Every structure is written in C-alpha cells, then in structure tokens.
C-alpha cells in the first residue's frame, strides 16, 4: 500500500512504509543539520498528538513532517503552524470536501477532525534553529480505526483519494505561504470556521467563553466575552452552537 512516488514537490521527500513517528524522524534529521525535507509515511506505529496524546495512524493515511529552518523569532512559530493548517485545508478541499479550520490548527469537516498538526521546535528567543511541523490527514482509512467520537476520514467523506496529489497540493501551498508570511493570517481567516462563532476556550488560566472575532499575529485568538475582549494565545477551543 505504498504511496506512488515521483512527487514534484518543493521539498525533498523521505518515504517510509512504516515508521514510529515522522516527527521523531524529522527531529533526528534536524540533529543531522538537514532542512527543507519532508518525512512521509503510510503508517505510524507511535504517532503522537500534542501534550503526549496518541495519534492513530493506520496504513492508508497521510502522515508527514516538514523540517524547516525559518528565519524568525521563536515567538512567531505559531504562524508556521497556521500556515500548515491552511495548506492542509487547501489539500483537503482539493478532494471536493469542505473543510474548516478550528483555532489554532485543527482541520474539521462537518465538525469532525480529519487532520491534526503538531509543531516541535528548538531555538533561542530571537531565532528558531529548526522547526518540525507534523501533519496527519485521515485519508484512505476506515473510521473504525480512529478514535470513536469526532474523527472522520476522506474515505468516509468522499471515497479514497490520490494521496500523491493531496500531498503535492499541501506542500506547494505550504512553501508559498512560508515564503510570503504576510499572507498567512488572511489565508487562515478565509478558511476559518472559528471566527464569528461562539467558542469556549480552555486556557491555562481558565475557561473563556464568547464570540471569536479575529486572529492577530503571531496567532492569538481575540474573543469578545461578557467582560470584554480577551486575547488567547494557548488553549483548546470548542465551537459552541449559536
Ligand atoms: C493533534 O494532537 O491533533 C496533532 C496530531 C499530529 C499528528 C501528526 S502525523 C505526522 C506527525 N508525526 C507524529 O507523530 N505526529 C504528527 P491533539 O490536538 O493532541 O489531538 C490528539 C487527540 O485527537 C487524541 O487524544 C485523540 O482523542 C484524537 N485522535 C487521535 N488520533 C486521531 C486521528 N487519526 N484522527 C482524529 N482524531 C484523532
């Protein structure tokens, strides 16, 4: 079930039929001094989400990590993650389904997660040394092999897709956005399902409920609450019914 390669991608691609985690391999390549390389796998045996959560990665999915060395302060890393969410949404949209981005970087279809993103990074305050952005897309996988609630797959939504085309679209979009960072937030806004919605955000300082009104560089969510405007930089966001 290996993906057919010969990708005409803007990055070098290292392909694995099976690997523990493409992010783990991306970090290893960073240690070897590499950059602008994509690690891609058909299956991950130890896929990881944020906060040490697990990421189900059965054969047939799109599991990839992009190793970059962008010239920017570490505080701007969320912008790269948002670019990845936009690129992923464009790739999903290219299959004919309608995705929306949930702040900061989940890609949903019909309220269910079709993709997740995990960014890892090293650097000094004023300069990123390396950044690995890991993207998982539930492509040609059965939903029975995913966590029960609120996950979906392209197979479920529209039938099996050509993963090579989806990855190609994703990487082209990503390289354009990374080269032109001023476009990232506006592209994110255009694909966002969060803005204009009532949201509840679990932050380290408690829950914030209100209307999400905008995002601000390098990725903060502005929420209008009963007590005024809050600027949220980290948290888990839920879309509430109007
Ligand atoms: C994420 O974490 O959404 C980031 C996922 C990043 C995965 C990619 S795949 C390539 C690269 N290599 C890796 O090892 N990782 C990256 P988080 O927001 O923490 O979501 C994790 C939660 O989503 C889990 O606790 C489950 O509830 C749920 N989940 C697990 N696997 C899923 C899947 N395949 N689809 C949808 N939801 C899933």
Q: Domains plus CATH for the chain?
A: 12-191 (3.30.930.10), 198-239 (2.30.30.100)
Strand partners for 64 = 40, 135
pLDDT at position 8 is 76
CA geometry: angle 129, 131, 133, nearest 5 deg: 175
Cα 114 to ligand 1 centre (Å): 10
pLDDT at position 2 is 33
pLDDT at position 229 is 97
Cβ neighbours of 115 (radius 10 Å): 28
Please state whether beta strands 220-225 and 236-239 pair in parallel, antiparallel, or not at all (unpaired).
unpaired
Residues of the chain with pLDDT under 50: 1-4
Cα 227 to ligand 1 centre (Å): 34
pLDDT at position 3 is 43
- Tell me which H or E stretch contains 58: none
The residue contributing the CA closest to ligand 1 atom 34 is 56
Task: Name residues contacting ligand 1 (CB within 6 A).
Answer: 21-23, 44, 47-51, 53, 55-57, 63-65, 113, 116-118, 134-136, 138, 146-147, 151
Structure tokens at 113: 């997660």
Q: Roughly how many angstroms between the first and final C-alpha of the chain, as a whole number?
A: 43
Cα 189 to ligand 1 centre (Å): 23
């Amino acid at each position: 079930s290996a993906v057919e390669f010969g990708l005409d991608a803007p990055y070098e691609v290292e392909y694995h039929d099976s690997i523990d985690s493409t992010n783990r391999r991306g970090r290893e390549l960073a240690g070897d001094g590499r950059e602008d390389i994509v690690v891609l796998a058909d299956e991950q045996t130890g896929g990881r989400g944020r906060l040490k959560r697990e990421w189900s990665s059965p054969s047939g999915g799109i599991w990839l990590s992009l190793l970059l060395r962008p010239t920017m302060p570490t505080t701007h890393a969320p912008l790269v993650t948002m670019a990845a969410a936009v690129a992923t949404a464009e790739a999903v949209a290219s299959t004919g389904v309608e995705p929306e981005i949930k702040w900061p970087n989940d890609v949903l279809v019909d309220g269910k997660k079709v993709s997740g993103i995990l960014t890892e990074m090293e650097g000094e305050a004023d300069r990123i040394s390396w950044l690995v952005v890991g993207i998982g897309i539930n492509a040609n996988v059965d939903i029975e092999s995913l966590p029960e609630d609120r996950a979906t797959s392209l197979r479920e939504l529209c039938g099996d897709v050509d993963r090579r085309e989806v990855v190609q679209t994703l990487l082209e979009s990503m390289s354009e956005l990374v080269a032109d960072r001023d476009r990232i937030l506006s592209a994110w806004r255009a694909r966002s399902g969060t803005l204009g919605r009532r949201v509840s955000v679990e932050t380290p300082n408690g829950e914030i409920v209100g209307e999400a009104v905008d995002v601000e560089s390098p990725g903060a969510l502005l929420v209008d609450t009963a007590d005024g405007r809050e600027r949220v930089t980290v948290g888990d966001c839920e879309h509430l019914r109007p």
